[in-house]
Amino acid sequence: MADDISVLVVDDSALMRNLISKMIEATDGLSVADTAMNGKFALEKIARLDPDVIVLDLEMPEMNGIEFLRERKNRGIRIPVIILSSIAEKGAAVTMEALALGASDFVQKPSGSISVDIATVKDRVSELLLAYGGRYRRFNKKTPASDAATVTKPPSRTPAASGAASISSLVSGMGISVGAPAQKITPIRSTGKIEVVAIGISTGGPEALRVVFSKLDPDLKVPILVVQHMPPGFTREFAISLNKVCPLDVKEAEEGDEVIPGRILIAQGDKHLEVVRDGIRVVVNLSKSPQVSGHRPSADVLFASIAVVYTNHALGVIMTGMGKDGANQLGNIYREGGLTIGQDESSAVVYGMPRVAYELGHVMEQVALENMGKRISTIARTSRL
């Protein structure tokens, strides 16, 4: 249909092109613009089709996915690209190279290059295509909304129900209940010197974190901990790729890592990341306790432990992502006297997590992606909004 988000499917296997196309056509709001057997043919079709989003395999003859992404970048093509490739299973570094070249996100084919069970990842693929394709259409095929307002304040109304579970139950990996009576947050103490920054982020995160990290102050003297929803096996290479664009040291978090100024720790895929006191030190604890808010790692678990350990000396940041992970426990950082900010709607690929936090009254300021790195640096330096 004319209103559907149009998808160009690029894969060297005729069977896979057919299966992926059927999967897309079975999703409300999506339609297949055309297919291509490699990057060369895809480039030839883009000018005529002007699709909203591209699904790209990495292993193809004549022009593979990496070569396509390089040429896409050279030509200034801004159409978002979702990697759907078997190589993701055996080559996390290649997948991260694809992200560094401008791919928006990735999904692993479930079982090799010819995945007859591709339907098992239908929901994830559809989610990404709708999110990135919808955003591209909104901001590149229509007059884009103004990003002039860098910082906005929450509405002056009583927030919706916070309903956060106790910190102890969250940290132990239990779920979150929602629907408790609405209560306006009143911090129990004044904000102290900011000693840590905690970031929760999901869909749209790989691109967004590259923007944020590239604009951090090289002299930033506080540690940063990040929960980015990502499969296991990829977060080490993801940290390495971010380290190349960030003036601070970025690494994948390991059990017992000390939380020290000037270092950024990325949560491992499929492991919760918490901080705990160890004498005068603060160290990382990783666990495979049950999912929280539908995720492991969970931003809610990180934020809950930050509120316990750092009380009024923390800055919590919630960014683009589907769902509500992090929205509840961001409120505990606020209650303890810490500061909280969220990504604004106009710059978020998916205004889900930050929207829920904002509507709960847990976000003190909303910030555009382009300004997020500098804003984090300023708040961490001045300890005020």
Asked if 83 and 58 touch (Cβ cutoff 8 Å), the reply is: yes
Active-site entry in 34, 85, 105, 229: 229
d(CA 250, CA 31): 39
DSSP secondary structure code for residue 28 in this structure = T
Is 284 within 8 Å of 259 (Cβ atoms)?
yes
Decide if 325 is catalytic.
Answer: yes
Exposure string (b/e) for 356-367, b if CB count within 10 Å is 16 or more? bbbbbbbbbbbb
Q: In what order do the strands lie in the sheet with 5-10?
A: 30-36, 5-10, 53-56, 81-85, 105-108
Residue 338 CA to residue 128 CA, distance in Å, equals 33
CA–CA separation, 36 and 34 (whole Å): 7
Residue 217 a catalytic site member: no
DSSP for 324-357 reads -TTHHHHHHHHHTT-EEEEE-GGG-SSBSHHHHH
Name the residue among 252, 187, 262, 271 with its Cα closest to residue 218.
Answer: 262
Which residues is 199 bridged to in the sheet? 226, 317
Task: Tell me the two tokens of residue 259.
Answer: 């939380």
Alpha-carbon distance of 165 to 295, in angstroms, equals 16
Q: Which helix (DSSP H) or strand (DSSP E) does residue 250 occupy?
A: strand 249-252
From 325, 344, 346, 377, the catalytic residue: 325
229 is catalytic: yes
* CA atoms of 330 and 294, how far apart (whole Å): 16
CB of 293 closer than 8 Å to CB of 262: no
Residue showing tokens 């004498």? 279
Nearest to 84 by CA among 185, 147, 10, 164: 10
Task: With beta carbons less than 8 A apart as the criterion, state whether 132 and 82 touch.
Answer: yes
Q: Look at strands 339-343 and 105-108 and give their pairing.
A: unpaired
Q: How far apart are CA 64 and CA 69, in angstroms?
A: 9
Q: What are the residue numbers of the active site?
A: 202, 229, 325
